[in-house]
Amino acid sequence: MEQYAYVASVIASAFYLVASIRLLRLSRRTGERAELLLGLYFGLSSIYYFSYNVPSLLAFDAWSPSAEWALEWIYILGVLPYLLFIRSVFRQEERWAAALVGICSVLLVTGTAMGTLDGQIVYSLNNPWFQVQWMGYTVPCIWMCWEALLSRHGAQKRARIGLCSPVVANRYLLLALFGGFQCLACLADLSFAADLDGNQAASLLSGVLLGGTEFASVGVLWLAFFPPLFYSNWITQRAEVLSSPVEE
């Protein structure tokens, strides 16, 4: 089951890299900040997932604790632009959103820095700083899911009167699903941490959660950023049917 999770994470890293390149190119062409921030998040996540999982998949020796913490910093640095992306897209003018970005950033940096300095095991419930760090990257996933659902509700209303493309409205749903699947991946981290502490019963759960959520995350991102023509046509036709008046 662990091998399944490793394979899923490596596949996810490849897709995240493709999405990152596409978004960074789009940002360079349009000058938009949102695409730049999300592209950085996917790019750093790709490096982290690939570097962390490939040695385990190939049965190489495990990373040293110092190397694991170095990799952890790569992921944490990726979550920071993810936080800024959520705020810039959904709550750019809200002060509480800026405060939430600050709180999560402090949790991320503090948990990672203190865990590194204390020489703790990265994923372990016996590491008190793991829980601090975990809160720092779990809250953004919950936030993304919530904001995308709210935006999708408004986009659906605009789509019914022709002010928004049904494909764009659907993209909010896909981003909400991505946030939701990443929340489940964060729960898998807790299970994985329990497994490392000797709870073998958590091994199956962590493998299923982590592998399944990574595959699901790749699926919804593929539809969001690289929608095939048949899918876009289906979304458009479905919206037209739902918005058509019913003849009595």
Question: Per-residue pLDDT tens for 185-225?
Answer: 888 878 777 765 555 555 566 667 777 888 888 889 888 88
Model confidence at 54, in pLDDT bands (50, 70, 90)? confident
Mean pLDDT for the chain overall = 83
Q: Which residue has the higher pLDDT, 99 or 228?
A: 99
Sign of the CA dihedral 224, 225, 229, 232? positive
Q: Which fold has domain 2-240?
A: Rhopdopsin 7-helix transmembrane proteins (1.20.1070)
How confident is the model over 96-113, as a mean pLDDT? 95
Does the pLDDT value for residue 246 go beyond 60?
A: no
Asked if the model's pLDDT at residue 247 lies above 50, the reply is no
pLDDT (mean) for 28-49: 90
Residue 62 pLDDT > 70, yes or no? Answer: no
The dihedral of CA 232, 234, 238, 241: what is its sign?
A: positive
Instruction: Work out the number of other CB atoms within 10 angstroms of the CB of residue 152.
Output: 20
More confident residue, 93 or 62: 93
- Percentage, residues of the chain above pLDDT 90: 34
For residues 146 and 179, give the distance between their C-alpha atoms in angstroms, rounded to a whole number. Answer: 8
Instruction: Provide the percentage of residues in the chain whose pLDDT is more than 70.
Output: 85
CA nearest to 186, candidates 216, 213, 149: 213
User: What is the pLDDT at residue 173?
Assistant: 92
More confident residue, 60 or 233: 233
Q: What is the pLDDT of residue 146?
A: 95
3-state secondary structure of 124: coil
In terms of Cα–Cα distance, which of 74, 95, 87 is closest to 37? Answer: 87
As a whole number of angstroms, the distance between CA 79 and CA 226 comes to 23
Residue 88: the pLDDT is 92
What Cα–Cα distance (Å) separates residue 216 from each residue in 29, 176, 180, 210, 224?
Answer: 30, 12, 10, 10, 12
Rounded Cα distance between 107 and 199, Å, is 26
Please indicate whether residue 214 or residue 95 has the higher confidence score (pLDDT). Answer: 95
Q: What is the spatial distance between Cα 152 and Cα 177, in angstroms, rounded to a whole number?
A: 11
Burial of 142 (0-12, 13-18, 19+ CB in 10 A): middle
In this prediction, residue 32 carries a pLDDT of: 85
Distance between CA atoms of residues 82 and 76, nearest Å = 10
Average pLDDT over residues 37-53: 89
**Amino acid 244: pLDDT:** 55
Q: What is the pTM of this model?
A: 0.84
Q: What is the pLDDT of residues 132-188, one digit of tens each?
A: 999 999 999 999 999 999 988 888 888 777 777 888 888 999 999 999 999 988 888
CA distance linking residue 116 with residue 130, whole number of Å: 10
- Identify the pLDDT of residue 1: 47
